[in-house]
Structure 1
Amino acid sequence: MRKEMIVYVSGKPQRVIIRNYIFTDMEAMIAIQRESFPPPYPSELWWNVEQLKEHISRFPEGALCAEIDGQLVGSMTALLTSDSVTESHSSWEIATDKGYIRNHDPAGLSLYVVDLCVIPAFRSAGIGKWLIQSMYEVVVHLNLKRLISGGRMPGYHRYANQATAQQYLDRVVAGEWKDPVITFLLRCGRMPIGVIANYLEDEHSCNYAALMEWSNPFWNNNMQPKGS
């Protein structure tokens, strides 16, 4: 994939390229993580070279980045998996093989999002939304059934004493409460289909995540997926 578009950063137009990241991008990919998740976030949770090598070699179609003026400013990574895996409500570590995606299933019909990240200086430019839109295009191009992921619920800790995780999600969907991640995903066309306990160690989300889905409106179950 490679496409160009104009986004607005502090009111000024900027040309952004969304493309597949490659082996020569690995240092820049790690820099995105470093800038997006500074200390006290543990550096061992940033992407490492071995993980990135696996992404690029196993499923290059699911390895996307955003570039402005030669600088990588965001990325999104995914793998293919079967319905049985996604419906088991697995933790992030199990669903993504701890980020190494060695469990990528070329015959899978669901595209599972491993990570979405944009550096702080460009988060107001809509780049995250365009990366998600680009991954929807991958789903359509490969004739996959859907895109799915666990979405953190970082606002939940404020309401955990008065609502279950499912009740919190329901009220966010109803517009009564707002969540930085879930509200964003809803605006990107994602639909909630459940709640995952012990998804990821995340104090703000109380370790919960919402299972969020985008169904491919063009899916043809009589046609073999292109990735298989």
Structure 2
Amino acid sequence: MSVILEFTVDNDQFRLGQVLSGPPAMDIELERIVPTGDAVMPFLWVNGDEYESFERKVLAADSVDDLVALDKVDDGILYRITWRGDHNDIIRGITEAEGTVLEAFNSDGSWEFHIRFNDHDRLSQFYNYCTDQNISIHINRTYTLTERTESVKQFGLSNEQREALILALHQGYFDTPSQVSLSELADELSITQQAMSNRIRRGNKQVLTETLLTSATNIE
């Protein structure tokens, strides 16, 4: 039975986090991971205002061999990163345990991962890999799909996403015209405007996925 692991890891604990951390502040999501021989190649959706600075920073990293912009949709760009040499880090651990990245994104100096493994043995393999490589991860929760009934009722939101959506709703952020700015909401929670935007956007996506897609599946 497949099992889902949700965890956070600090940027300095893995190579991708190290390379992508720091200015310019960009909204980054891991799209997928593709094994290529002895290496792994991450694909990233990046949103922000300073793409040229972002590209220069990434290409300047000693561990990066190439960065290619593959596609642009609205304000986001899909990038492919090619590493220089072989490295043992959390991304390799995921691929070796045959994990599937359901969601992975940067947030305030760390990354949050939602990974599906084929069974508990594969999850244990990944956890042991992290332990062997001295990679420190903070496990938020693990669950099987059959155990997800209660979390679906809560739309699978993180505490931060739920807090942000409730505040935005109460303050009239979704009204037309909006009664409060994103910056004002961020100040209420003592976080950056970008972090607030991330929580609202991902929270909305999670709610819509759980309600619309689940309903569509049931109809079928």
Scaled to the shorter chain, the TM-score interval is: under 0.3
Q: Tell me which structure has the larger Cα radius of gyration.
A: 2
Greater relative contact order: 1 or 2 (C-alpha under 8 angstroms, separation 6 or more)? 2
Larger helix fraction of residues: 2
TM-score, reference length from structure 2: 0.26
TM-score, reference length from structure 1: 0.26
